[in-house]
Structure 1
Amino acid sequence: MGNDKTVTIVVEGKPYDWPKNTDISYDQVVKLEVPDYTPQSNITYSVKWTKGHGEKPEGILVPGASVKVKDGIRFTVSETGQS
């Protein structure tokens, strides 16, 4: 089993395989941590990443945005309350 088509991303300490050379969106990150999340839900989340690509190693992912994955990128997802 070659692992040349996926990278490991980490969401709240849990590793996930993700297709290499692709982006991951705010909604996709939140869904990994909160499987029943829908964009229509009234709860908003703060999504931050670290260990990203060199030109943008860390940042905040906002609804509607995405970030390019790289092996070992780490995401934190925290509930910020009602939107």
Structure 2
Amino acid sequence: MLEYKYDTQLLIEGKNLDEDAINEYFTNNFKGDCLLAVGDEELIKIHYHTNEPWKVLEYCSSLGEIYDIVVEDMDRQSRGLQG
């Protein structure tokens, strides 16, 4: 059984985005692992494993426009099912 079930990925498009601040917010406010938050001041790519992807989406949408959103159930995938 996986500790964190959902692979959550998205792009954030905005202004004055700060990948260090985003990384820090995730670390301090969300339970999960495998965080990747990289990009520049206008576009950040997020990859994160969590049990509460809706919290990630809510936070990220407060930073700018979010798109290319993918939330996959890694437990289902490990059983050979559609994630």
TM-score by length of 1: 0.28
Task: Tell me which of the two structures has the higher relative contact order, counting C-alpha pairs closer than 8 angstroms and 6 or more residues apart.
Answer: 2
Higher strand proportion:
1
